Structure formats: structure tokens, C-alpha cells
Amino acid sequence: MSFFGFDPTKPDSGRGSGRRQRDKKAEKPLDFEETYQGFGEHDQEEDDYLNDETFGNATELGTDFDFGYGKGSLESDVAPKSYADHGRSYASAAVAGPPSGQTGYGAAAVQGLDDGLDFKPMESLWTNQPMSMPMPQQFQQPQLPQHPQHPQQVLSMEQLERQQRQQQQQMGIPAQQQGFVGMPPQQDMKPMGYGYSPQGYMPQIHQMQGGGFPNQPQSFPPQAVPPQNMGTHQYQPMPLMFNRQMEPHQHPQQQVASPPSNQQQHLPVQQQLPQQSIPIGLSPQAQELGPQQQQQQSQQGSNFPVQMDSTRNSASPRSQALSPPHTPRDSNSRNGRRGSMRRQQEPLTEEEHKRLQIRQAKVDKILRHSGVMTPRDKDFITRYQLSQIVTDDPYNEDFYFQVYKIIQRGGVVGESNKGLIARAYLEHSGHRLGGRYKRADVALQRMQSQVEKAVTVAKERPQKNKENFDGAKEGVLGKISSTMNSKAPRRQLQIPTQKSEDDESNAAAIDEVVESLNGVELSSASKARRRSSYAFRTMDQSAVLCRSGGRKFVLSLIESVYSEVLELEAQLRSGKSIDNKALWDALHVADDSYEVSPFISILSFDKGVKIMPRILNFLDKAQKLRLLTLFFSELSHLNIIVTSSYKTNPHPTDVQLKKIELFQSVFLKIIVSFLSSSAEFLEVISLLLALIKDNNVSFISTSKIGLNLITVLISRAALIKQDINRGTVLSSSEISTWNEIYDKLFTALETRLALVFPPEEYTNRVVAISSSPSLLSANGEQTAKNHYYDHSYIWQFFASLALSGKLNHQRVIIDEIRDEIFGTISKAEELAKSTTVDEQVALYQRDKMYQDLNLFLNVMGLVARDGEITELK
Amino acid sequence: MLFFSFFKTLVDQEVTVELKNDIELKGTLKSVDQFLNLKLDNISCSNEAKYPHLSSVRNIFIRGSTVRYVYVDKNMVDTNLLQDAARREAMSAKK
């Protein structure tokens, strides 16, 4: 039997010098006595398989072990042998245990020695497919069932099968015998046991080659042998192997019997080496023996092979017939393969050679550590790594990343989380191109299934922890602490958790202290609410806070509001129905037990303001209206009003101005959108009523925010009124209510309308702060001329006030703010004349001033232009 | 998972990593894992005179425990979202 179409029955023709050499050898029997060093004369322990290798007995101190594709082989050009073993691992070798039936190797080895040497280069070496070496083929083929992970075959399966069939026909071998690699059909030596236990051949040969075995009995260093041609390189290590591969304890009888002959055999080999580069002669054995020998080679090199005897004695004539099937040497076998290979025998040019070497080096580098782990091992590791990362609830555990990506993509939900992880892992592992077959999609699918499995593992994990069950796999890849891991990192601050009761009583105590210290006049110690706040004009925020439950309480309230909102948003994402009751309760809008509603105090904090739009998303209209009514009726308590009023806060700081800005951009927007989208006329009026009834309107009007709020309400009411005038008729009761409320508002503001304008000192300060990053810097005044205080909100207020008012109202307004009107005009004219500032800026400012002023004047049919007020045409 | 989640969003962004041995490395964040090990590409060392051996290094793997700070550009961080994420984390820790 043979592979690759080799016909063992034909006389071998392609052996030139090799045969001569063999003949020579045959004439001169080996004298083993001369080389044998007695290594095999002591008993070996049973099953100390790879012992020396494991404990490094056979190596010098400081040797770098290389469990991958050895460095040695890299240095020595090529050693494709190792390719055969990628799927193998130490583990599998160990499990397999020492192989049996090794006599065959001895026999084969002798045959190999006896066989003529062929110095033609190995075809496989010259292919562009580094993986497709003859040896792998030889070994792989029968082992295919056991080694599905070895896909490289130069020959297609069909070809191989065809060849096998042919050979079977020729030789009449039962098919099952093909399982024995290189087993010659005529072979009658039972002990040769070619029934490979296929498991254990490993690429350690390269280690040896690297010179890690000082006690090898060899007289020639493998590297020193001058290679006759490229093809022989790979077999240089073989002699070494050959010498050490045999384990005495496995073949005790033979040991005893054979040493002399073995050594005899050996001698000529060594002698030949210098001139002939013997390795090729040995290679076939190495190939054949591979699986077991390579296991054995890792044992002490001292066990001189004994098994050779059998062949020595009996097989010399047969060896010719035996050897061809195992070896690629024979021309027939080569021919058989050649058909499917590229032209190989042609001499390579220098350039090709170089390229090949470079290529080979690359491949070697890649393969250097390949095969250390089996794909199964890798899968296992990958799954465990992944299981630490993946989660089946990405929006909960990987919230930031998920939402951030959605925001970045503009709200489009992209690839699934698992897909992303799979992709990322593929890229890191370098398999994104899909390996040899360039099947990137397959690789991705595989990784995705890995992720899927990992998710399952991740799901199981918390349960394990719960049961306090240390799963066998837990912490396989290092200790995974249950108290401290990536999901629960160590905390820098350990905050003792107090009971909520203590909390409340503490807060209450603090409140009392604060109250007494501030001397805030309270109508009573009872919690009777006193929400109207004419008298209340303190800047002291803590007083307000303490009246609504204390700073701590409000802050915790904000947090609970946040968590409710987050919860609701999570529900929204998962498509569940939404229940906002908890949120509504957390807002304490309906809670009357505090003097100042906690909701108002929530708005004292930036984060409380920022959450408002998200809160309103979850409230229905009635709730929104209720919330806004509360807001307007307790406006005076609102910290931002106090801050933004020039009366209570004549010297605003940078931070405060930013706060005002924030409030305006966030909360005012909500109110405007609510009013303009869904509020009915009466609802707007009721909000205005709440504002007028419970607050000091005059005080509120001195603050920018307050004035804006009033403006929004009355202008919205006016707009609805106009709309309705066009369409459905407003009921008379509604109109009368509106007029009534307007009168009230106007009365509250009358005689104080001029106070709406902040004093120049204040505006200058605001301008200075907002225009320069550092407060009140030296050039503050200069920039003040470029940036000026925006009065437009004031003119908007007067415009809407005048719009809804009757003629007498308008007259009162003009009377009261006459000075401001003319002051603005004269200022604008001054700006135009002034030469100190940039002309364009001045012109722009002037136009802006007129524009703002005309907002108001136009309502009454007037227009201010070029320093004069005329009738609007 | 918050920090892991956060650093994942910085992948392919330029960050500066200060190590506990005072070496400062600027580079593109390529990868981060649950231990906050970092993989940087195209690194440059801020103090090349002091650590000349790093001048020939192009990419580097940093064990997470050796990192003191990671400097991040301001606009790479969505602070509001980060606040939310931190709250969620706290919420789930309470449960």
C-alpha cells in the first residue's frame, strides 16, 4: 500500500547515489558496540512520559522553552514537519500515553537507513503552499477522521481516494489496513505495529534542533551538517530523533538483544553525514515514525533505540520494498503527486528563492505558536473572556456605551451589541479575514455564536454567586473575586447606609437649627403652609430649602426623581407600558406638608432644572398643568427669581448668570412649548392668576426670569384671544375673566413699571461678567461697549402688556417708562455719533436698540426712527 | 461596568494615559477590556528625553492597574449621559 500514487511494485529508478550508499552500508554492518553508551541499560520508570521534558532535566539551565513552533526551525530555513501537528497539543499527547507497538519504528528506521538516499529536493518544500508538505499528507491522510482540523491537503480528497483505490486494486489490500500509514502491504513483520496511535506526534523536534539536549549521544551537531540542497534541511533533525526516539522500557527484550546491531547501524550513518547530508535518508522514517517518535524524542536522548534489530536481522532485503511507500523519495510516488502540484523540480531563480524564503519566514512566524492550543481550547478561553464582558441587558449594564453610540449615530440603533463584541474580538484575534479560507463571514458567525454562548454563561453567573456555588469553571482564567470585579469595583468611599428614619430625624433637626439661626419669621412652628411670599425677599437659599424639607431632603428628592425617570425611560425603551405614579409622587407636587413645595426647591439646583424636560415627557396634561400652577404660584420662592432680580441680587456672579442662562434655556422652553401646544385659554389665565394671586408681581418683574415668565403668559393669552376672535368665539365670561385678571396684573405693576428696568450699575456688571471670562477684569469696561445688556426681554414684556391692554393701560405704560424710551433713543443716537467704537458694531447696536424699542412702540402704532418717534404708517 | 462602558466609547480616540510610574503616553485607544487594560496605537511619549526606550514603540498594551489617569478630550464625554449612567449604576448596586 502506498499513498500518492506510488507504485511500490515498480523497481525504483530515481535513486542514484542513495542506492550506492545503501549498498555500501549493507556491506559494512554497523557495530553498535562502538556507539552505544549504555543509556538503555537502566530501567526506566513506567509512564514518566515527557517527564524530563516537563521538568527540564534534559536541558541546560536558562534554556528558553518554546512550546510553539520552535525557533530552531525558523532558523533552519524550513521544517514543514511541524505542520502536521498543529492540531495536537501536549495535553492530547499526554492523554494518549506512551504508544505501543514500537518495534515497527525500529524496523522502519533501519529500513530508512538502509534505503538509498535520494538527494532530490522534497517537492513539498518548493511549493507555495507551505502547509502542504508531504509528511502532513502522509500522516494526515489515514488520520483524517481523528484530525478534522487539518484541512491542508495538496491532493483533493477525490484524488487521494482514487489513488488509494488504485493501490488497493494493485495490491489487494483490505481497505481497513489503509489506516496504517505507510504500512507496506507485503510487510509480514507483525511487531512492527504500524498501527499508529496517531495522537502524539508533536513539533518538539525543533526544540531539539535548537540544541537544547546536551546529552544527546550524537557526535554531530545537527546544524553543522551542510545541507546539500534545500530539500534536505528539514530532515536535519531527524538523525537526532532517530537516536533517541526509542524507549527501552517499552521493548525490553529487544533492548537486551539488539544494542549491538543498533549501533552498528548507526555508525555508518554518522560517517556518511559529512559528505552526504544523511538526513534525507532518515527522513522517511522520521516521517513515518513521527507520531510516536516525536513523543519519545522528548525523553532522554540516551535511550538508544533497540528496535532496529528486528529489521536489521530480517528486513534488509525487504527494506527496499518497504521503504518506498513511506517516503516521498520514490519517483513514482512523486510523480503521482506531481500531477496535482505546481511544477516543483524546476530550479528556482535567485529571486524566487528569496521570495520563497521571505514567505516561509512569514508563515513560520505566524505558525510559530500555532497549535499550542486546539480550537476547542481557544473557544473555551474566548467564551470565558467574553462572558466577563457581555451582558444580555446592555441598556442596563452597558448603559453609557449603548446610549452614547445611539446619540453619535443620530438616534439610529446600529448593530447589535453582540455583533459588535463579536466583531471587536475577531479583529483582536486577527481572524477577521477568516483565516485560510478567507471566510470572514464564517468567522464572524462563529464568533457570534461564541458571544451567544458567553451570554448564556453570563446569565448563569449571578445564580452561581447567589447559591454561593463555586463553579468549577469560576475563576479558571485567574481569580475572579466576587466582592470586587469589573462589575463591582472597589469603592474609594465607604458610605455607611443609615436607616431612613434616622435620616429624617436628622434632617428635621438640622432644619430646626437652620430656621432658628436665620431667624426666618415663621407664622408658626407648625407646618402650616404659607406660600404667598410678599415679605420673603431673602437671598438665603437655605431658608427656602429648609422650609421645603431641607437641603438634604431636596437633594435626595432629586436623585429619586432621576431614578424614576431613568426607570421610566428604560421601560419606554423596552416597550413596556409606563406608569408615572412613582415619578409623580417623587415630585411632591401635591404634597402640602411643607411650607414651600419641594418641587420649587428641586428647581434651585441645576440638576433639578436639567431633568425637567425629561420629567414632562412622562406626565399627562393634567399633571403638567398642576405642576405649572404650583410653579407659578410659588414663583417668589424660586431661587432663580431671587438670583436674577437686580433688587435681591445686585451683584450677580458668573455662576449665577450661568444658572440664569440654564434656567432660561431649559425651563422657559418647556413652559413656552406647553403653553403654545396644548394649553387652553382658561388654563393660561389660571396660570397667570396663580402668579398674580400668590406673588409679589412687582418683585418678580424685577427679575429677568420672572419678567420673561409673565411675558410668556400674557402674550400667549393675547394670541389665543386673537385666534379665537378669528374662529370660534370666546365666551363672554372668559373674556371678562381675562380682563379682570389683566386689570389685577396691571394694578400690581402700576407705578412700578419703571422698576422693570435694571439700574445701569447692574447691567454694566452683568455685561462685564458675561463678556469676560474672569470676573471684572480690567478691560471689562471696554468690552462692555461691544457687548451690551440685552433689553429686548423688557421691551417684549411691555409690548405684550400693551397689546392686551386698553388705551388707558397703554397710556399709563408710556407715562411710566417715558424716560426709558427716550433714554434708549438718545443712547442709540449717541452710539451712531460716537467715533470711539467700531462703526459697524455701533450701527448694529443702534439698530438693535431701535428694533427692541419698536417692538413696544409698534403695538401702539408708533415707530422710533433716527431719534424721533413717529406714527406707524 | 460603568468605566468599561465609558472607555469603550473612547475607542479610536486620542487619549493621554498617565501611568503610575509617571510616564505619560499619548496615543489612539484601540481597545479596552473589563480590567481596563488599554491598547494604544501610534503612541508618543510626552517626555521622550527621559524615556528614550519608548521612542521606538508604536503600539503598546497597558495593564489597567498601572494607569493613574487617562486624559480625555472634553467633547469626547457626554457628561449628562455619564451622570445618568452613574445613577443607573448606583441604582443597580442598591438593588
- What is the average pLDDT across A661-670? 88
Per-residue pLDDT tens digits for A387-419: 777 766 777 778 888 888 888 776 555 556 666
Given a cut of 80, is residue A717 above it in pLDDT?
Answer: yes
In this prediction, what percent of chain A has a pLDDT beyond 90? Answer: 1
Q: Provide the residue type at A600 as one letter.
A: I
CB atoms within 10 A of CB A520: 17
* Contact between chains at B4 and A389 (C-beta distance less than 8 A): yes
Compute the mean pLDDT over every residue in chain A, rounded to the nearest whole number: 64
> Any idea which residue has 437655605 for its cell?
A542
Q: How far is B64 from chain A (nearest CA, A)?
A: 11
CB distance A767 to A787 below 8 Å: yes
- Asked if the Cβ–Cβ distance from B5 to A607 is below 8 Å, we say no
Q: Enumerate helices (H) and strands (E) in chain A, giving the number of each.
A: 43, 2
CB spacing of B1 vs A397 below 8 angstroms: yes
In this structure, of A99-113, A406-420, A540-554, the range with the lowest mean pLDDT score is A99-113
d(CA A795, CA A824): 11
CA A746 to chain centre: 63
* Contacts (Cβ under 8 Å, ≥6 apart) of A256: A306
Evaluate if residue B52 carries a pLDDT over 80.
yes
Question: Among A389, A607, A610, whose Cβ lies nearest the Cβ of B34?
Answer: A389
Average pLDDT over residues A801-823: 86
Identify which of B93, B32, B94, B34 has the alpha carbon closest to the alpha carbon of residue A454. Answer: B34
DSSP state for residue A202 in the 8-state scheme: -
Q: How far is the first Cα of chain B from the last one, in angstroms, to the nearest whole number?
A: 16
Q: Regarding predicted confidence, which is higher, B13 or A577?
A: B13
Comparing CB atoms, the residue among B6, B35, B91 nearest residue A486 is B35
Q: CB distance B85–A399 less than 8 Å?
A: yes
CB contact, 8 Å: A606 with chain B? no
Q: Which residues of B touch A566 (CB under 8 A)?
A: 84, 87-88, 91
Give the integer Cα–Cα distance in Å for A205 and A663: 76
What pLDDT score was predicted for residue B60?
Answer: 94
Residues of B in contact with A396 (CB under 8 A): 88, 92
Higher pLDDT, A294 or A555: A555
Query: H or E segment at A392?
Result: none
The residues in A 347-386 lying below 8 A from B, measured between CB atoms, are 385
Residue A139 amino acid letter: F
User: Nearest CB to B31: which of A399, A405, A428?
Assistant: A428
Torsion sign over Cα A488, A490, A494, A496: positive
Residue A234 pLDDT greater than 50, yes or no: no
In this prediction, residue A376 carries a pLDDT of 81
Compute the count of residue pairs across chains A and B with CB atoms less than 8 Å apart.
65
Average the pLDDT over each of A163-167, A560-564, A750-754 and give the range with the smallest value. A163-167
What is d(CA B26, CA B31) in angstroms, rounded to the nearest whole number? 14
Contact A563 B91 (CB under 8 A): yes
C-alpha distance across the termini of chain A, in Å = 115
**Cell numbers that stand for A310 in this block:** 528486528
Q: Which of A401, A487, A559 shows the shortest C-beta gap to B8?
A: A401
Cell readout for A812 is: 399709563
Picking from B67, B77, B84, B57, the residue whose alpha carbon sits closest to that of residue B33 is: B67
CA atoms of A8 and A168, how far apart (whole Å): 12
The three-state secondary structure class of A220 is: coil
Most confident of A191-200, A291-300, A643-652, A712-721: A712-721
Predicted confidence (pLDDT) at residue A366 exceeds the cutoff of 70: yes
- Beta-carbon separation of B78 and A404 below 8 A: yes
Residue A451 has pLDDT above 70, yes or no: yes
What integer pLDDT is reported at residue A848 of this predicted model?
A: 84
Contacts of B83 in chain A (CB under 8 A): 607
Residue A731 DSSP symbol: P
Burial A730-767 (b: 16+ CB within 10 A, else e): beeebeebbeebbeebbebbeeebebbbbeeebbbbbb
Nearest to B81 among A391, A403, A567 (CB): A403
Decide if A566 touches B, using CB distance below 8 A: yes
Could you tell me the maximum CA-CA distance found in chain B, to the nearest angstrom?
51
Amino acid at A354: K
- B→A interface, C-beta within 8 Å: 1-6, 8-9, 31, 33-35, 78, 80-85, 87-89, 91-93
Q: What is the Cα–Cα distance from A464 to A454, expressed in whole angstroms?
A: 15
* Mean pLDDT within A58-63: 70
The CA distance from A137 to the nearest CA of chain B, in Å, is 40
CA atoms within 13 A on the CB side of A512: 7
Inter-chain residue contact A566 with B8, CB threshold 8 Å: no
Distance CA(B12)–CA(A753), nearest Å, equals: 58
The residues, any chain, with a CB within 8 Å of residue A759's CB and separated by 6 or more, are A646
Residues A751-806: pLDDT tens digits? 888 888 888 888 888 887 776 654 444 443 444 445 677 788 888 888 888 888 88
Whether pLDDT at A659 is above 60 = yes
Q: Which of B1, B9, B85 sits opposite A487 (nearest CB)?
A: B1
Q: Give pLDDT tens digits for A121-144.
A: 454 444 454 443 444 444 444 444
**Predicted pLDDT of residue A456:** 74
Residue A83 cell numbers, joined: 505542520
For residue A109, pLDDT over 60 is answered with no
Residue A502 is predicted with a pLDDT of: 47
Cβ within 8 Å of residue A610, ≥6 positions away: A662, A666, B80
Question: A172-197 pLDDT, tens per residue?
Answer: 444 444 444 444 444 444 444 444 44
CB contact under 8 A, A566 and B78: no
Spatial CA neighbour of A266 closest among A531, A35, A571, A553: A35
| Separation between Cα atoms, residue B85 and residue B48, nearest integer Å | 37
**pLDDT bracket for residue A737 (50, 70, 90):** confident
Contact between A209 and A234 under an 8 Å Cβ cutoff? The reply is no
A19: pLDDT strictly greater than 80:
no
CATH topology of domain B2-94: SH3 type barrels. (2.30.30)
B19 φ, ψ (degrees, to nearest 5)? -90, 165
Distance of CA A329 to the CA centre of its chain: 52
CA distance A805 to A743: 8
- Per-residue pLDDT band for A56 (boundaries 50, 70, 90) equals low
* Residue range A625-631: mean pLDDT, rounded: 88
Q: Name which residue leads in pLDDT, A506 or B17.
A: B17
Are A755 and A698 in contact by the 8 Å Cβ rule? The answer is yes
Mapped onto helix, strand or coil, the DSSP state of residue A242 is helix
Out of A492-506, A524-538, A614-628, least confident range: A524-538
The arithmetic mean of pLDDT across residues A446-451, rounded, is 76
Contact of A484 with chain B, judged by CB distance below 8 Å, is answered with no
Query: How large is the ipTM?
Result: 0.89
Q: In A, which residues are within 8 Å of B87 by CB distance?
A: 559, 562-563, 566
Report the residue from B1, B35, B91 with minimal CB separation from A398: B1
Average pLDDT (A250-272) is 42
Distance CA A284, CA A22 (A): 14
The average pLDDT across A219-226 equals 42
Inter-chain CB proximity B3 and A489 less than 8 Å: yes
Q: Which amino acid is at A197?
A: S
Can you give the pLDDT at residue A38?
Answer: 58
Contacts of A487 in chain B (CB under 8 A): 1
Give the pairing of strands B38-45 and A868-871.
Answer: unpaired
Of residues A88 and A440, more confidence is placed in A440
Residues of B in contact with A562 (CB under 8 A): 84, 87
Top mean pLDDT of A126-140, A161-175, B74-88 is at B74-88
More confident: A439 or A402: A402
Instruction: Using the predicted structure, report yes or no on whether residue A286 has a pLDDT greater than 90.
Output: no
For an interface test with B, which of A384, A387, A395, A400 has the most B Cβ atoms less than 10 Å from its Cβ? A400
pLDDT above 70 covers what percent of chain A? 43
Least confident range from A18-27, A688-697, B22-31, B69-78: namely A18-27
Report residue A472 as a C-alpha cell: 468549577
A458 compared with A442, residue with greater pLDDT: A442
Interchain contact, B81 vs A407, CB within 8 Å:
yes
pLDDT at A256: 40
Alpha carbons within 13 A on the beta-carbon side of B88: 27
Reduce the DSSP state of residue A711 to 3 states and report it: helix
Q: What 3-state DSSP class applies to A167?
A: helix
Please judge whether A398 and B35 are an interchain contact, meaning their C-beta atoms are less than 8 angstroms apart.
no
| CA–CA dist A848, A794 (Å, integer) | 13
Using alpha carbons only, how large is chain B's radius of gyration in Å? Answer: 15
Are residues A486 and B34, on separate chains, in Cβ contact within 8 Å?
A: yes
DSSP B9-72: TTTTSEEEEEETTS-EEEEEEEEE-TT--EEEEEEEETTTTT-GGGTT---EEE-GGGEEEEE-
A407 Cβ under 8 Å from any chain B Cβ: yes
Could you count the other beta carbons within 10 Å of the beta carbon of residue B27?
22
Q: How confident is the model at residue A520 (pLDDT cuts 50, 70, 90)?
A: very low
